[in-house]
Amino acid sequence: MVANPGGGSSDAGGGPVRHIPVLLAEVLAALEPGAGKVILDGTFGAGGYTTAILRAGADVVALDRDPTAIAAGQALVAAHGGHLTLHHTQFSHLADYAPEGGLDGVVLDIGVSSMQIDEAERGFSFQKNGPLDMRMSGTGVSAADVVNRAKVGDLIRIFGFLGEEKQAGRIARAIEKRRAKEPFQTTRDLAGLIEIVTPRKAKDKIHPATRVFQALRVFVNDELGELAQALFAAEQSLKPGGRLVVVTFHSLEDRIVKKFFSERSGKAAGSRHLPMVHERAATFEPIGKPMVVASEAEAEINPRARSAKLRAGLRTIAPAERPDMSIFDLPDLASLEKIGV
């Protein structure tokens, strides 16, 4: 997982990171899986959370947009005799896979997995040279398409917002100049240019290309939009008393989850400019601390955990509210469909 822009380790460089479920004990404590419960794991990956939930006695409906994860997970499906179903789909569609009576829990571990980073042909890491791809599903617009086709102004906004890259303008203009001569094809092709344009300083903790690679991955996979839609879908699919547990790895994701739980808390809405406020029925109540982070011991063992944040909510009896993407204040970025034309 690419580290949050505020610091911590980064998997964008493709260092050897063995897949270890992050905050597993904390996730299970918030989720409370058990016999007779149906839990949806929206980010199956290598099956770490799913395996632990199954061991706790619950049935699992697991989703993943990555076809390689679905293929690798078939042995686990076979081993659990009907207690696990695995579906190839985006987690924004999770409502389509909820049982008629509703779900007892939903868990989401947001971002790229170590398995994807370890595969050079997927193009997530600039330390492992491969095609500039980054598509989790393997279909649609690739990172190369974005870098070679998007307007400079669009690249600046993508790098600036999704990567919080301060040198977004300089990097975007350098990309425009270079691609006019030769298109970008590989991960090291792009990382090399960025390293020339914004050389690494002695005090820098991360590679100069880290934030741009993060921005491209998030944009190509519409990760923020997917997360927002998944939160609305979970609200619709959880039964009263059901639990929503979300683990994020950088500030953009965490802001969305924090905003969602705040909006669904039922607190009065208003501002000093609009003093008229109204109470809304809460659809979620907080579980435990507002935010949980990894212990020093876990962070030492698993570097990926250093930037992880867990937030969780308990579904109330109030009806789900209307999905409203405007609550997240997401920017109006370039259309993936238009870039792909």
Binding-site residue numbers are 47-49, 64, 91, 109, 116
**Cβ contact 219:88 at 8 Å:** no
DSSP state of 270: -
Binding residues for S-adenosyl-L-methionine: 47-49, 64, 91, 109, 116
- b/e map of 32-58 (b: 16 or more CB within 10 Å)? bbeeebbbbbbbbbbbbbbbbbbebeb
Here the contacts of 43-47 (C-beta below 8 Å, separation 24 or greater) are 43/91, 43/107, 43/108, 43/109, 43/110, 44/69, 44/70, 44/73, 44/86, 45/19, 45/69, 45/109, 45/113, 45/115, 46/19, 46/72, 46/113, 46/114, 46/115, 47/72, 47/73, 47/76
DSSP string, 111-167: S--HHHHH-GGG---SSS--BS---SSS-S--HHHHHHHS-HHHHHHIIIIIS--TT
Among 211, 224, 204, 155, smallest CA distance to 184 is for: 155
d(CA 41, CA 289): 22
* Spatial CB neighbours of 57, under 8 Å, sequence gap ≥ 6: 33, 34, 35, 36, 37
* Spatial CB neighbours of 154, under 8 Å, sequence gap ≥ 6: 333, 334, 339
Among 313, 310, 316, smallest CA distance to 27 is for: 310
